[in-house]
Structure formats: structure tokens, C-alpha cells
Amino acid sequence: MEDVSERSYERLAPSDLERIAAVAFRTLSAIFDRAPVAGLYRDRLLLIALAQGSALHYLNGTNGLKDIDVWAFFAAGLTKPFPHRKRWCVDFGPSRFGRHPADLGYSGRRLDLMGRSIAATVGEPPQQSVQRWLASKNRSAIELRKKPMFLLFPDAFFGERLN
């Protein structure tokens, strides 16, 4: 029987973060191949993080998982910014988290991937670049810093809290 509910209260484990990261990387690869501006950023990835309500659920286990929110940050410096108003939605696939009732055609929770190109200094750890952006007056940054974020990439910092 298919588990359909507004929110899943199943805990997110580190192994789930690994699967989320894998889905995010596959999604980014497809985006780079079909979206010309995003494709310019293929080699400029700084950091990928679990964010928003899904990160809060990872932290407290009580928020519930409506969807899975992932943010990718890229080093700015190209003539066009990474498409910052775009949200790519993909099917996380069957899992113990079930599916949201509004996500018809999905077999699991929806994973929303957003990206942003940000200022980054050569040699600076990517976390510092993202933390500086999060501290800015950018509207997205203001909203994102209201909830925790957890690193999915780079691998050396996997699972660590970003903010």
C-alpha cells in the first residue's frame, strides 16, 4: 500500500542524506545538459546543502517532511548568474517517507533543487562563502538562515551543520 500523507514523520538518517545527495547530483547533471546558462556552472559547484523544512526535520525529527529541499551554491564570476529563480522538482522515489498527496505522478516525496551563484574568494572554504551570503540582505538568504542547513557536499563535511 502506498503511504500518502501531507508530512512524513519518519526520521532522516545519514544514509538518507547520502541518497538525497545522489539524487541532487543526478539532477544537477541533467540540468547542466539541458539548461544552457546553468550548464556554464558545471565546474563551479561550491556546496550542496539540505535546507528549509527538510533540514529542520533532520535536526528535530518533529517538523515532518513535506518535501525535500536542496540548495546548490556555485562560484559567481560569469557574465550570467546561475538561474536563481528556478526550482527543479524531481521524484525522490519510493521510500519510507511516502508521497505527498498533491504530488500526483510521483512515487515518493518531491525533491526541490534550487541554486545560486555567489561571491567566492579563491582558496576560501566553500562554507565561508555560503555563510557570508547567508548573512547578506538577500531575500533568499534571509529566509534560508531561519532554518538549519546541513552539508551534502563537499564530502569531507558531509552531514555537518552549515548555519
20 found inside a domain? yes
Residue 121 pLDDT > 60, yes or no? yes
pTM listed for this prediction = 0.95
Q: Can you tell me the mean pLDDT for 101-118?
A: 97
Give percent of the chain with pLDDT exceeding 70.
99
Number of domains in the chain: 1
Virtual torsion, Cα 139, 142, 144, 148, nearest 10 deg = 180
In a domain, 71, yes or no: yes
Residues spanned by the domain of 113: 14-157
Say whether pLDDT at 1 is over 50. no
For residue 75, being part of any structural domain is answered with yes
pLDDT of residue 84: 86
For residues 130 and 143, what is the distance between their CA atoms, to the nearest angstrom? 14
Within a domain: 162 = no
C-alpha separations of 49 from 18, 116, 149 in Å: 11, 12, 6
